[in-house]
Homo-oligomer: A and B are copies of this chain.
Amino acid sequence: MEQVDIFKALANQTRLQMLEWLKEPEINFPGQKEYGYDQGICVGQLQAKANLTQSTVSEYLSILQRAGFVKATRKGQWTYYKRDEAAFERLSKLISTTL
């Protein structure tokens, strides 16, 4: 993944928002309480909150995943996405040193 693609992934308001939501799943996705938050948040929950079509949200999550910001876990018919905090730390360091 090129450096520029990392920034392209962040160059969209909705995608930024989704990353912020995923930072506090308990607060932003109370609907998933009964299934727990360890595995992440499923696409449907994110779609409901983003108010975009299912295909768009799926695509956006894929972009974020390719850029490394989220990790996906398939469980049954659901795919759960959660942040990969290490990616943010890496990017933070890259910006303060290399860039």
Contact = CB atoms under 8 A, between A and B. Distances in A.
Interface residues of A, number: 20
Interface stretch (A11-19, A25-33, A44-52): A11-19
Interface of A: 2-4, 7-8, 10-13, 16, 19-20, 88-89, 91-93, 95-96, 99
Tell me whether chain A's interface is mostly helix, strand or loop, or mixed. helix
B4 A11 contact: yes
Contact of A88 (B4, B20, B88, B96): B96
Contacts of A13: 2, 4
A8 to B, nearest CB: 4
A20 B2 CA distance: 15
